[in-house]
Amino acid sequence: QVHGIVRRSSSFNTGRIEHLYKNPQAHIEGNMKLHYGDLTDSTCLVKIINEVKPSEIYNLGAQSHVKISFDLAEYTADVDGVGTLRLLDAIKTCGLINSVKFYQASTSELFGKVQEIPQKETTPFYPRSPYGAAKLYAYWIVVNFREAYNLFAVNGILFNHESPRRGANFVTRKISRSVAKIHLGQLDCFSLGNLDAKRDWGHARDYVEAMWLMLQTDEPEDFVIATGEVHSVREFVEKSFKHIGKTIVWEGKNENEVGRCKETGKIHVTVNHKYYRPTEVDFLQGDSSKARQKLNWKPRVTFDELVREMVDADVELMRNNPNA
């Protein structure tokens, strides 16, 4: 049985979990029950945790967009940093320290300006955004509750994990959506920021399995979850277009660089400085040896399969609803 917290909004914001309803048309709940709540409201967190008395809590709630965290710095700190503390405090207030297992969605953004390659559990942190800094507080407050109160609490330091459910303004989904629209003739061109940022991209399906495995162990420990493979934003663009039968050729430099279709000569990709971050994270590559050894976990979905799945899903989506 799964309980979730949903923020109140004037429009339905359950699009990505519709299929989990017993009756999606009528929003009738089955094994998934939703409660109105917010990570900025400690009263409601105590109320929900006290009512549900969960055996496992997965804190995946965050303002999770790195670029936007520069614009919403205080809000990001409140939700991602203090929000985690509020949840941990609620567990304590409800007297569930000895019965609940707590998972904190930590992040590779903690490594930011990387101090070693690849990054593992012992790599020093150097966050490069208000998001990274807020998540750093959350990481250490989880460690503190684990050591101070003997709470079963773990940090999953997950590298970028993607899927067709990724938010529309994240770079991978922006690419797959735009490529789908270009394929269907609904769009000619789209803009990106730093094409040379390199990331260790995996599939959310694999990574969620790793989250669950962390809470099934005897002792609470923090784990890095990553594929160990690195690809650039540029490569993600090329592979996405390749899947719809287009070859992208790059021309120009820096902000004047464009991606042109070799077959038609049309420009499909441009660079816009507004999508750059004030402080950039250039390179992330994870070493998940500890998880492979102790959790017997390994990623199953390859980078190519991930790109194909995202593009296919968005082609289907845009075909049915061009304004999605």
Return the active site residues: 107, 109, 131
Q: Is 150 exposed, middle or buried (CB count within 10 Å of its CB: 0-12, 13-18, 19+)?
A: exposed
d(CA 204, CA 209): 9
d(CA 241, CA 236): 9
Question: Where do the DSSP E strands lie in the chain?
Answer: 2-6, 32-36, 56-59, 101-107, 152-158, 161-162, 190-192, 198-199, 202-203, 223-225, 231-232, 248-251, 258-261, 267-271
Report the C-alpha dihedral over residues 75, 77, 81, 85, rounded to 10 degrees. Answer: -60
- Residues 318 and 181: beta-carbon distance below 8 Å: yes
| Closest by Cα among 173, 128, 153 to 309 | 173
Q: Torsion-angle region of residue 228: left (phi > 0), alpha (psi -120 to 50) or beta?
A: left
- For strands 161-162 and 202-203, give the pairing: parallel
d(CA 135, CA 66): 11
